């Protein structure tokens, strides 16, 4: 199963890391230069929650505010 993770909050990240744990091919779409909001939650300087929530996922930065970004996402969906 292929899953595109477009979530920005913890609930979506949690759902997709469970799917990834059970074998789904999860591709996390993130904002360029910013990444997922979970990356900003730090404990002792480390993005601990991001490390947990991104396990078994691949990440790709796509700017969905531009038509080229939308086209790239559409190619991923249709692939």
Give residue 26's domain range. Answer: 2-78
For 55-67, what is each residue's pLDDT tens digit?
999 999 999 999 9
Residue 54's CATH number: 3.40.50.10540
| pLDDT per residue as tens digits for the range 29-52 | 999 998 888 888 888 888 888 888
**At 14, which helix (H) or strand (E)?**
helix 10-21
Q: Record the tokens describing residue 77, joined without a space.
A: 């969906």
Number of domain units in the chain: 1
| Tens-place pLDDT, residues 4-18 | 999 988 889 999 999
Residue 5 pairs with which residues in a beta bridge? 28
Q: Taking a C-beta distance cutoff of 8 angstroms, is the pair 44, 13 a contact?
A: no
Lookup result for tokens 């990440």 = 59
Measured between alpha carbons, how far apart are the two ends of the chain, in Å? 13
């Amino acid at each position: 199963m292929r899953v595109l993770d477009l979530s920005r909050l913890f609930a979506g990240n949690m759902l997709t890391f469970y799917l990834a744990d059970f074998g789904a091919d999860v591709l996390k779409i993130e904002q360029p230069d910013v990444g997922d909001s979970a990356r900003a939650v730090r404990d002792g300087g480390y993005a601990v929650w991001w490390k947990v929530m991104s396990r078994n996922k691949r990440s790709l930065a796509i700017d969905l505010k531009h038509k080229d970004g939308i086209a790239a996402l559409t190619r991923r969906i249709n692939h």
